[in-house]
Amino acid sequence: MSAPETLTYEKVDKDILATIEPPGIGWYLLILTAVCVLSVGAYAWIGQILHGIGRSGKNNPVMWGFYITNFVFWVGIAHSGTLISAVLFLFRAKWRMPIYRIAEAMTVFAVATAGLFPIIHLGRPWNFYWLLPYPNQRYLWVNFKSPLLWDVFAVSTYLTVSVIFFSIGLIPDIAAARDRATGVRKIVYSALALGWKGSHRQWRHYGAAYGFFAALATPLVLSVHSVVSWDFAMSNVPGWHTTIFPPYFVAGAIFSGLGMVITITIPLRKAFKLEPYLTTWHYEKMAQLIIFTSGIVTLAYATEFFIAWYSNNTYERYQFWYRAFGYYAWAFWLMIFCNCVVPITFWWKKLRTNLTWLFICSIFINIGMWFERFNIIVQSLSREYIPSAWGNYHVSWTDLGITFGAFGWFFFLLIGFIKFFPSMALTEIKEILDPPVRQEHGH
């Protein structure tokens, strides 16, 4: 099914470029709110830099807490955007058209948010560049056998390729905005459009490049979150050292990202009056993908428990008993409810096409997936091998402030983006319309 038949190239152009008209009071209020939330995080982080990492809650034995939870959460969010824009492009899924631009924007901004956390969680964040293999006066190189180093390459590659893929997709749309803009906007859009004219020669190379980018970004969806999962799986911590982590993390990432796409697009669609372009049919497709990925995540949880029991390994068995019935059991059951129970409601068509219900569930999914990472990290570290080394995690205000501030940073970037660039792929929506043919118009 393509977009409704009453749409023409002119109407699509007008509707989508209307979203980047000079903003009203609502947008200013939103961005101000985002800046306030971001400031809370900035204040917390500055305090941590000045007074030391002791300001955060992480300590022996839970030496990774909220910050790495947030890192994995945001990288996971990013993956769904790449799945929608690159993987579904290769599968020629038409339902991706109205959402892929905002999904890609979500990817870029989520990776930009995630990339802050490996720096935030350092005791000496000013030394973060030591992770990179640069020649130095100590004659040393980095340890390429460490998953933390693989992460540096994976996340940097993901950020770079996502930004490039995003920018390339934007070029024809910015050119359309350039041709309709006046004044300073025209100058800025002209510079950003790079002189794109949409000639047949350019479209030929563009089509080829876009296809190759989609083909390059697809293995990134699989590899980057696998590499992130190896931060845990390559250790020998009970509950971490398991080969299920790569597919479990990748499926979970897509699941959480879809939740975030729904959270973002439902209000956006209403605010910009984009209902003709983003219909309940599109949301139904997303809901079906959520059912699928939720199923994989539920199966992964069950598999972890089964293997822990089947292995007869004391430490693994205890870890999973502790997850369900220990100190953080509330977090575990919250995760199960949000990730496994809530998506079951999408089996009913009436619910999966109800946008209010979808929005509410998407919030639950985001919460559930955040807690999944919290459970994996904090629960496993709090109860490792030797009981005398056991300890709980004590959340600090700095942890909370930075977590909160990261959401502010993400939404600040996103709200800024939607006002200055087309949040729907103008050119690709025109592409899925039936091309204008004279015979049909009876002239």
Partner 1 sequence: MSADYLVVGHFKFVDDTLEAIRRVKSQGLGHDDLELYSPVPNHDLEDEVYKGKPRSPVRLFTLFGGLAGLSLAFLMTIWMSLDYPVRVSAKPIVSIPAFVVIAFECTILLGGIFTLLGLLHNCRLPWIFPTPGYRPNFSKDTFGLVVRVTKDKSETIRAEMQSCGAEQVEVQYAR
Select the span of 87-95, 148-156, 295-303, 373-381 touching partner 1 (CB under 8 A).
148-156
Nearer to partner 1, 156 or 392 (CB): 156
Q: Which of 42, 122, 188, 216 binds partner 1 (CB under 8 A)?
A: 216
Query: DSSP 3-state assignment of 60?
Result: coil
Q: Which residues of 298-337 are buried (b: 16+ CB within 10 A; e: fewer)?
A: bebbeebbeebeeeeeebbbbbbebbeebebeebbebbbe
Select the span of 120-128, 173-181, 274-282, 284-292 touching partner 1 (CB under 8 A).
173-181
Number of residues that bind partner 1 (CB under 8 A): 67
Using CA atoms, how far apart are residues 88 and 373, in angstroms rounded to an integer? 26
Q: Which of 16, 38, 111, 154 binds partner 1 (CB under 8 A)?
A: 154
Using CA atoms, how far apart are residues 89 and 83, in angstroms rounded to an integer? 9
Tell me if 231 sits within 8 A of 148, measured CB to CB: yes
Q: Which of 5, 200, 350, 387 binds partner 1 (CB under 8 A)?
A: 200
Site for partner 1 in 279-298 (CB under 8 A): none
Using CA atoms, how far apart are residues 26 and 32, in angstroms rounded to an integer? 10
| Minimum distance of partner 1 from residue 358's CB (angstroms) | 30
| Minimum distance of partner 1 from residue 152's CB (angstroms) | 9
By CB under 8 A, tell whether 66 contacts partner 1.
no
**236 to each of 113, 241, 242, 300, 381, how far by Cα in Å?**
28, 5, 9, 19, 11
By CB under 8 A, tell whether 180 contacts partner 1.
yes
Select the span of 7-15, 30-38, 102-110, 307-315 touching partner 1 (CB under 8 A).
7-15
H/E stretch holding 67: helix 66-82
By CB under 8 A, tell whether 8 contacts partner 1.
yes
Which residues make Cβ contacts (< 8 Å) with residue 366, sequence separation at least 6?
256, 259, 260, 263
By CB under 8 A, tell whether 92 contacts partner 1.
no
Q: Which of 28, 91, 128, 203 binds partner 1 (CB under 8 A)?
A: 203
Q: Which of 137, 356, 388, 439 binds partner 1 (CB under 8 A)?
A: 439
**213 to each of 87, 170, 353, how far by Cα in Å?**
10, 14, 32
Query: DSSP 3-state assignment of 64?
Result: coil
Q: Which of 130, 196, 318, 420 binds partner 1 (CB under 8 A)?
A: 196
Nearer to partner 1, 119 or 142 (CB): 142
**108 to each of 163, 209, 248, 413, how far by Cα in Å?**
6, 19, 22, 10
| Minimum distance of partner 1 from residue 286's CB (angstroms) | 25
Site string for partner 1, 97-136 (x = CB under 8 A): ------------------------------------x---
| Minimum distance of partner 1 from residue 98's CB (angstroms) | 15
Q: Which of 156, 280, 288, 392 binds partner 1 (CB under 8 A)?
A: 156
By CB under 8 A, tell whether 441 contacts partner 1.
yes
Select the span of 36-44, 57-65, 157-165, 270-278 touching partner 1 (CB under 8 A).
157-165
Select the span of 3-11, 69-77, 79-87, 103-111 touching partner 1 (CB under 8 A).
3-11
Using CA atoms, how far apart are residues 306 and 54, in angstroms rounded to an integer? 38
Which residues make Cβ contacts (< 8 Å) with residue 358, sequence separation at least 6?
262, 266, 283, 286, 287, 352
By CB under 8 A, tell whether 275 contacts partner 1.
no
Spatial CA neighbour of 238 closest among 388, 69, 380, 382: 380
Using CA atoms, how far apart are residues 72 and 232, in angstroms rounded to an integer? 11
| Minimum distance of partner 1 from residue 441's CB (angstroms) | 7
Tell me if 395 sits within 8 A of 374, measured CB to CB: no
Which positions touch partner 1 (CB under 8 A)? 8-10, 13, 133, 139-145, 149-150, 153-154, 156-157, 160-161, 164-165, 168, 171-172, 175-176, 178-180, 194-209, 212-213, 216-217, 219-220, 223-224, 227, 230, 427-428, 430-431, 435-439, 441, 443
